[in-house]
Amino acid sequence: MAVITSLKHFIPSDDDALSLVYKHFDMKHEAASLLESRAEQYMNSWLSRYDKERRNDELLEAMHHLVEMAEVLSTIDAGQRTHRACARASLLSLQIRIPDLLWIGLSETNARRIFVEQSRFQEALIVAEAYNINQPMEWAPVFWNQMLKPDLIEQFVAEFVLVLPLQPPMLLELARFYRAEVAARGDQSHFSVWLSPGGLPAEWVKHLGRSFRSLLRRTRDMRLRLQLATLATGFSDVLDACNSVLDKVPENAGPLILRKGHGGTYLPLM
The confidence score (pLDDT) of residue 207 equals: 86
Given pLDDT bands bounded at 50, 70 and 90, which one contains residue 203?
confident
**pLDDT over 90 at 268, yes or no:** no
Return the SS3 of 201.
Answer: strand
**pLDDT over 50 at 143, yes or no:** yes
What tens digit of pLDDT does each residue of 171-185 get? 999 999 999 988 887
Residues 6+ apart with CB under 8 A from 46: 54, 55, 58, 59, 62, 104
The confidence score (pLDDT) of residue 191 equals: 46
- Percent of the chain whose pLDDT exceeds 90: 60
Q: What are phi and psi of 258, to 5 degrees?
A: -115, 150
Given pLDDT bands bounded at 50, 70 and 90, which one contains residue 130?
very high
What tens digit of pLDDT does each residue of 19-40 get? 565 675 556 878 888 899 999 9
Closest listed residue to residue 142, CA positions, set 132, 127, 131: 127
**pLDDT over 50 at 199, yes or no:** no
CA-derived radius of gyration, the chain: 27
State the CB neighbour count (10 A cutoff) for residue 208.
21
Closest listed residue to residue 127, CA positions, set 145, 111, 139: 111
Alpha helices per DSSP H over the chain: 2-10, 15-24, 28-47, 56-74, 79-97, 108-116, 121-130, 136-146, 150-161, 168-184, 203-218, 222-232, 236-247
Q: What is the mean pLDDT of the chain?
A: 83
**pTM for the full model?**
0.80
**pLDDT over 90 at 162, yes or no:** yes
Q: Which position has the higher pLDDT, 135 or 26?
A: 135
Range with the poorest average pLDDT among 13-27, 41-55, 59-73, 197-211? 13-27
**pLDDT over 80 at 5, yes or no:** no
**pLDDT over 70 at 232, yes or no:** yes
Average pLDDT of span 34-47: 94
CA angle at residue 77 from 73 to 83, to 5 degrees? 60
The confidence score (pLDDT) of residue 200 equals: 46
Q: Which position has the higher pLDDT, 135 or 182?
A: 135
**pLDDT over 70 at 255, yes or no:** no
What tens digit of pLDDT does each residue of 81-111 get? 999 999 999 999 999 999 999 999 999 999 9
Largest CA distance in the chain: 89
Q: Which position has the higher pLDDT, 217 or 183?
A: 217
